[in-house]
Chain A
Amino acid sequence: MTTETLSPRTPGKPRSTMPREVVRRRRYSGRVWHPSLGTGPLPRVLTLLALALMTVVWLVPFGWGVDTSFKTEVDASASGADWIPKAGFTLDAYRTIFGQGNLPVWAVNSVVIAVCVTAITVAISAMAAYAFSRTLFRGRRVLFAVTVASIMVPPQILIVPLFRQMLALNLVDTYAAVILPQVVAPAMVFILKKFFDGIPRELEEAARIDGAGSFRVFWSVVLPLSRPILAAVAIFVFINTWNNFLWPFISTSDPQLMTLPVGLSTVKDSTGLRNAQESAASILGSVPLLIVFMLFQRQIVKSVATTGLGGQ
């Protein structure tokens, strides 16, 4: 059911005549019946082989990074494709990384910034979307048209004026400078409005008859009904903010304020050969999001699917 209401991008998309659960059960049951796959054993084996091959190709680079992080620096900069280092595996790189103060600082910054951006974006976008969808304030058509048109403006072309603006506001090298420009997400307003448009109005009418004001209706009727789409938007915004590079890179020069992607690639440690250490730092820097993905795979996949096409 949720996937049905979660698809604002395809309001008129043909749906399966079968309940989704039935389809799923059949897909995962022993007798695989699949729309585009033959039933014989050969196609299945070939498919499995192709999948395995691509998986290996896609995992090897990351695996190499993990492998390197457990090597000594000498082995890490040795030539060739040796997965098993001569001097054996070691935790040295991780120990050194933990000894230096920067990584935790960046991780905290990343969390603070991503959480703030996500919270503010979801809040203001949902409110605006509700206004566009359900109220008739003067100028809403024009404003909504401007909002939708602005999806075409890539924020990347605004780095120069935005930096100039932050200079004028005396905000360069503050959290505010990193966060504020990132909370403007017209695409998310668009997605949320489309979703709100699809919510039956009877429910709101009932609440209104009970004497609820606009805010009350929004808070206790619309928002609870929109939980899946709000989660989807939040996840999408969070991932994008967590990995955003260009704007945080430009708006922060103080290493104490950098996010993980910026700090890892800008600030250098002072040792000579450092492949193992930098790999270890990289692994640590990417683990949080990977764990979150493994635990919430279904939700994240759904989020990307519903917001991705309308997103940045």
Chain B
Amino acid sequence: MSGLSRRGLLRGAVYGAGAAVSASALSGCGSIAGSVRSADEIEYWTLFTGPDGELMKTMTRNVEKRVPGLKVRTTVLDWGPPYYTKLAMASAGGRSPDVAIMHLTRLAGYAPGGLLDPWDLDLLAEFGLKQEDLNKTLVKRSLYQGEPYAVPLDTHPFVVFFDRDVMDKAGLLTGDGQLVPFESPKHALELMDKLRRSGGTLGPVFGHANDAAMGWRMFWTLFSQTGATFDLTGKRAEIDEDTAVEVVRFMADLTRDSRTMDVQTAIAAFANGRSPMIFSGEWDMATYKATLKDKLGGSPIPTFYDRPAGASDSHALVLPHQDNPDPERRRRAHRFVAELVRSGLTWATAGHIPAYTPAVSSPQYARLRPQSEYAGAAKQLVLDPPVWFAGSGSDFQTRMCQALDPALGGSSSARSAVRTMVSQINTLLAQPNPA
């Protein structure tokens, strides 16, 4: 067969396929106003990627197995502002998913705007989830005007992970395997130098480049430890700038081996043993556990300044607003969420501290390591400042991170970073609250 006719044949095939596809596509044009959504599946949006995502998938499958007839279609969207923007746009459009994950700190930006629908507590209780079995602090934060707009699933603090062997060799562990206390930032830096000399190639790492949350988490943790002023209640921010500058300098010094690392790179550096210590979300615990196994140690963020503090938030389940919710689907959504939250112990294996209290007080939880080692983080947690524009995945956090990044990367000074942060906060404060 000559090349030409083979080409002709191929072309004919493509024409044919094209015609068939076009015909079906055009007939699809006829029903363009309809939405394609299957009736018996509930739509569930999450922002969990990585090991978290795998675990959530497993938990969802388990719920589907336990509850005959319940089908869940999970969609994972890119975490951060993209997720929350999409969620708000879908809710405003009235064709939102049936259930979605949301950070508790974001509730203030959603519930007052009518983007969420409240939960039916009786229905949840009917499916075995009682309010009194949930972490009290979190429940309190899930109310808006007395109505429950969120069902908390966990708290997820920012913590430290380390390689026990290397840390021990460098003398950074106490006899019972805890981190040695740091007396001051200066002391901490000295110890880290010691760690660099005795350990691998790198000191502690911290992935932050082009991330919309990490830089802020670290800053907020350390700044909260100083107890200095950070007041956003007025028209203009009142922030102790000198302390902030000191904190940023310390951050940059502490993590100078990871100046330009993004989150993935830092995770890889720690997981493959190039660095013995990482400042990280506990949600990446499973990745580390997979390679470091029993050598993996964990701890709440050490107290470098005056008081213990660690940035944190909580994953909660919400009902995005729907214009005409189908009662049967709503019922299924309640059922699904009740089952999910009660699987707290499974969720804890990924690293999170469950909001379901019977899970936390169980003996199985005490045996989970390093989870139980950093469980104390729940006691020292600090949440974002209580303003409408803050919270996980907010534009505020993005702006703070973008201001911090150059200082952490060494391309600008700590003072200019703090100046940018303050001016960004003032810009946000000057904006009318749209929610």
Contact = CB atoms under 8 A, between A and B. Distances in A.
> Per the CB under 8 Å rule, do A and B touch in the complex?
yes
Interface of A: 77, 111-112, 114-116, 119-120, 163, 166-167, 170-176, 179, 250, 253-257, 265-273, 291-292, 295
A120 to B, nearest CB: 8
Contact of A173 (B53, B57, B75, B90): B90
A116 B29 contact: yes
Contacts, number: 116
B93 A77 contact: no
Interface stretch (B32-40, B61-69, B364-372, B421-429): B32-40
Interface in B97-139: 97
B295 interface: no
A291 B50 CA distance: 33
B50 A271 contact: yes
A260 to B, nearest CB: 14
Contact of B33 (A119, A176, A253): A176
B28 interface: yes
A169 to B, nearest CB: 9
Nearest to A163: B89
B55 to A, nearest CB: 9
Given A77-B268, A174-B35, A257-B35, A266 B82 contact: yes
B89 A270 contact: no
A272 B51 contact: yes
A249 to B, nearest CB: 9
Nearest to B320: A253
B77 interface: yes
A253 B89 contact: yes
Given A175-B32, A257-B36, A115 B89 contact: no
Contacts of B93: 166-167, 172-173, 253
Contacts of A114: 25
Contacts of A271: 49-50, 53-54
14 contacts: A112-B28, A116-B26, A119-B26, A171-B33, A172-B94, A174-B35, A176-B33, A253-B90, A257-B35, A270-B52, A270-B53, A270-B54, A270-B76, A271-B53
B11 A115 contact: no
B260 interface: no
Contacts of B90: 172-173, 253-254
B264 A179 contact: no
A172 to B, nearest CB: 3
Nearest to A265: B78
Task: Kindly state the interface size class of chain B when it binds its partner.
Answer: 35 or more
A172 B75 contact: no
Consensus secondary structure, chain A interface: helix
Contacts of B32: 116, 174-176, 179
Interface string B2-37: 000001001100100000011001101100111111
Given A111-B21, A170-B94, A270-B57, A295 B29 contact: no
B249 interface: no
Contacts of B35: 173-174, 254, 257
Given A253-B87, A257-B35, 5 more contacts: A174-B95, A175-B32, A175-B34, A253-B86, A270-B53
A132 to B, nearest CB: 25
B29 A112 contact: yes
Contacts of A257: 35-36
B261 interface: no
B76 A269 contact: yes
Contacts of A253: 86-87, 89-90, 93, 95-96
Nearest to B87: A253
A110 to B, nearest CB: 10
B86 A115 contact: no
Contacts of B77: 255, 266-268
A175 B21 CA distance: 17
A266 B78 contact: yes
A254 B95 contact: yes
A267 B26 contact: no
B48 interface: yes
Contacts of A295: 7, 10-11, 14
A256 B37 contact: yes
B371 to A, nearest CB: 18
Contacts of B34: 174-175
Contacts of A171: 33
Contact of B25 (A111, A173, A267, A291): A111
Nearest to B323: A170
A172 B50 contact: no
Contacts of B52: 270
Contacts of A116: 25-26, 28-29, 32
B45 to A, nearest CB: 9
Given A112-B29, A116-B25, A172 B89 contact: yes
Contacts of A174: 32-35, 95
Contacts of B51: 272
A223 B93 CA distance: 41
Contacts of A179: 29, 32
B420 to A, nearest CB: 27
A172 B33 CA distance: 10
A272 B57 CA distance: 13
Contact of B86 (A77, A120, A266, A269): A266
B265 to A, nearest CB: 9
